[in-house]
Amino acid sequence: MANFNEEYILTMLRQIHYPGFEEDIVSFGVVNEVNIQGNRVTVNLKFNTKNPDTKAQVKNAVQNVLKTELPDMRIMVMEGIPAMAGPQLAPPKPNDPWAGRAAIPGIHSVLAIASGKGGVGKSTVSTNLAIALANEGLRVGLLDSDIYGPSVHIMMGVDEKPMVTPGQKLLPIEKFNIKMMSMGFILDKDTPVIWRGPMVIKAVDQFLHDVEWGELEVLLIDLPPGTGDAQLSLVQKTPVTGAAVVTTPQEVALVDARRGYQMFRKLNIHTFGIIENMSYYPNPQTGEPVYIFGKGGGPKAAEELGIPFLGEIPIEPEIAAAGDLGIPIVAKNPASKATEAFRQIARRLLERGLLERVAK
């Protein structure tokens, strides 16, 4: 536990001058909130200026000062998060097609992980990316909404069921620093698929609003694969901040990934970019990447669509093994190439405004 308090951090932040002014950033009113939890310090800034250079200058200065003074802590500098209350949405206009999307109290950002088809590694990416984001100092939740094959609880090695609080709320299961809830907890494997569509929408709505998530910076949702009605209604009803589309390098998968992107576009939801899974096989002798399915499919598709390419993840038997074992690779082997790939993708998402965009 940290042996210092918020006051102490404020004292350090008083060393930083607001650009172009005599006053320090605390006196200037830029520091909205300081929060210490375990080994994470979160500084929330609130700017009156819209000047991106000024903002960047202050954010960097805060990072640098705190990193230097507190080398063992994880420092998160965020902007514009109203005191732990989740995004404030503008009141819906009459006939607003998004009026059904209510913000979830306490949850700042919702990242939907989608794929055009099953089997491309959407759940592998969801679990590992969730842990990679938590490693960046964020409070992270993970919701498996895949009605056809919920697997997140298996990959995270969870076999207990969530408990119900006296207030009739479900308690998410915590593991690897992630709060998790899964369709797998409530779906019977004998439930006919035809029931699952309508069921999932109702269930996901309950998962979002009747689960005691607490305060989260990011909730990842592992969506059902595909771009059909079930996916569409689900995303339509959820206050999603943005989506990431998972694909493999094969052309058939890329066609589906494009379809995934089109679905979000139609719904006016931001797509953060494309994640390519099973991009290459590292040569066991040399570690050199061998692009068995051809190189550059994911980046090319991203470029065509005008969206970022977020990164490539190698094929590694250890990824599948870790999944089967119930310990995702990012938790199991921090030194692996795959872990590094997930870390980079997590950082790119943060750079691309995962915490700064407002849910639609």
Ligand X SMILES: Nc1ncnc2c1ncn2[C@@H]1O[C@H](COP(=O)(O)OP(=O)(O)O)[C@@H](O)[C@H]1O
Contact residues for Mg ion, defined by CB under 5 A:
122-123, 146, 151
Residue 192 CB, nearest approach to ligand X (Å) = 20
CB 262 within 8 A of CB 301: no
CA torsion angle 120 122 128 132 (round to 10): 110
Strands 173-175 and 178-182: antiparallel
Q: Which residues contact 328 (CB under 8 A, 6 or more apart)?
A: 124, 127, 128, 131, 155, 156, 176, 322
Q: Which helix (H) or strand (E) holds 173?
A: strand 173-175
Q: Is 124 in the site for ligand X (CB under 6 A)?
A: yes
**C-alpha torsion sign, points 324, 349, 180, 335:** positive
Amino acid at position 120, single letter: V
Q: Residue 44 phi/psi, 5° resolution?
A: -105, 125
Amino acid at position 66, single letter: L
Distance CA 22, CA 69 (A): 23
Q: Is 254 in the site for ligand X (CB under 6 A)?
A: no
Q: Which helix (H) or strand (E) holds 220?
A: strand 216-222
Q: Please, which residue, 290 or 320, has the CB nearer to ligand X? A: 320
Residue 216 CB, nearest approach to ligand X (Å) = 22
The residue from 104, 243, 319, 327 that contacts ligand X (CB under 6 A) is 319
Nearest to 25 by CA among 9, 40, 5, 4: 9
Q: Is 122 in the site for ligand X (CB under 6 A)?
A: yes
The residue from 164, 290, 292, 320 that contacts ligand X (CB under 6 A) is 320
Q: Please, which residue, 34 or 319, has the CB nearer to ligand X? A: 319
Residue 152 CB, nearest approach to ligand X (Å) = 9
Site string for ligand X, 33-72 (x = CB under 6 A): ----------------------------------------
Residue 170 CB, nearest approach to ligand X (Å) = 23
Q: Please, which residue, 4 or 148, has the CB nearer to ligand X? A: 148
Q: Is 150 in the site for ligand X (CB under 6 A)?
A: no
Q: Residue 168 is encoded by which pair of tokens?
A: 């009739």
Candidates 213-221, 263-271, 304-312, 319-327 — which segment interacts with ligand X by CB under 6 A? 319-327
Shortest-Cβ-distance residue relative to Mg ion: 123
CB 192 within 8 A of CB 115: no
Q: Please, which residue, 73 or 275, has the CB nearer to Mg ion? A: 275
* Binding partner of 115, given ligand X, Mg ion, none, CB within 5-8 angstroms per partner class: ligand X
Residue 121 CB, nearest approach to Mg ion (Å) = 8
- Point out which residues pair with 131 in neighbouring strands: none
Residue 244 CB, nearest approach to ligand X (Å) = 13
The residue from 315, 327, 331, 350 that contacts ligand X (CB under 6 A) is 315
- Range 97-116, binding ligand X (CB under 6 A): 115
Q: Is 349 in the site for ligand X (CB under 6 A)?
A: no
Q: Please, which residue, 141 or 314, has the CB nearer to ligand X? A: 314
- Range 321-340, binding ligand X (CB under 6 A): 323
Distance CA 178, CA 348 (A): 20
CB 113 within 8 A of CB 243: yes
Among left, alpha and beta (phi > 0; psi -120 to 50; other), residue 40 is beta
Quote the crossing angle between the two packed helices 122-135 and 337-351, to the nearest 10°: 70
Q: Is 276 in the site for ligand X (CB under 6 A)?
A: no
Q: Please, which residue, 13 or 313, has the CB nearer to ligand X? A: 313
Residue 192 CB, nearest approach to Mg ion (Å) = 19
Residue 122 CB, nearest approach to Mg ion (Å) = 5
In terms of residues, how long is the chain?
A: 360
Residue 44 CB, nearest approach to ligand X (Å) = 34
- In Å, how far are 145, 237, 343 from 165, measured between CA atoms? 22, 25, 34
Q: Residue 331 phi/psi, 5° resolution?
A: -85, -35
Point out which residues bind ligand X (CB under 6 A).
115, 118-124, 151, 225, 277-278, 313, 315-316, 319-320, 323
